[in-house]
Amino acid sequence: MAKLTKRQRLNREKVDATRAYAVKDAFNLLKELATSKFVESVDVAVNLGVDPRRSDQVVRGSTVLPRGTGKTVRVAVFAQGANAEAAKAAGADIVGYEDLADSIKAGKMDFDVVIATPDAMRVVGQLGQILGPRGLMPNPKVGTVSMDPAAAVRNAKAGQVRYRTDKAGIIHCTLGKVSFDEDALLENLNALIGDLNKAKPSAAKGIYLKRITVSTTMGPGLMVDQGSLATV
């Protein structure tokens, strides 16, 4: 394990691991504790009251963060004809069909998101072993298989994030950059929590949002007081 610097040790001493912070206080403290020379991301981990071993309790979907992620996203689209032209007009970086599949098979992966029209999935299906392990395989549950690829491109460019419960029933997601102001981070967090509430499996019992923790890329986690969120 990497040894903590003196500043990192001092910063961690400022964090009360037993305290649930009001969300804006948490964001303020994260900004104060940011130590890296690069602009760190602000991330959230949401512990859900689900049994991830059961397929009917897997929580999966996407949210368009209203204030964006602070990242430039390159989008590749599998489409033909009018859909291809619409995707280009919406800002897609790469648009193709079988030629795009051949390019990916050759190892060219200069994109962050892959979108496909339903008819293109017969071509995209050949790429499962390449795109799947990278989390890039288009899926209708997260809006990347769409009859309206132009809208899907706009969502991806605007700050759409995808989420899925891990083996411990936790959702991990980015909320933006530490350079964002507290209101922007809060707006993004409220949007995510609102969508997670809508995605609650009917089979899930008891407390659904068990714990919310925010952190920066290199910083400690801060537990959030859920009463300070608008959508809980």
Averaged pLDDT, 207-216: 96
Q: How far is CA 31 from CA 16, 17, 22, 147, 191, in A?
A: 16, 17, 14, 41, 21
Which is nearest to 171 in space by CA: 209, 145, 128?
A: 209
Strands 209-216 and 60-64: unpaired
Query: Does the pLDDT at position 1 exceed 60?
Result: no
Give the Cα separation of 189 and 44 in Å (integer).
Answer: 8
Q: Which structural domains are found in the chain, ordered by start?
A: 16-69+160-228 (3.30.190.20), 75-158 (3.40.50.790)
Mean pLDDT of the chain: 92
Q: What is the pTM of this model?
A: 0.83
Residue with tokens 């491109």: 153
Q: How far is CA 182 from CA 22, 30, 90, 198, in A?
A: 12, 10, 30, 24
Residue type, 52: P
Give the pLDDT score at 6.
59
Query: Does the pLDDT at position 11 exceed 80?
Result: no
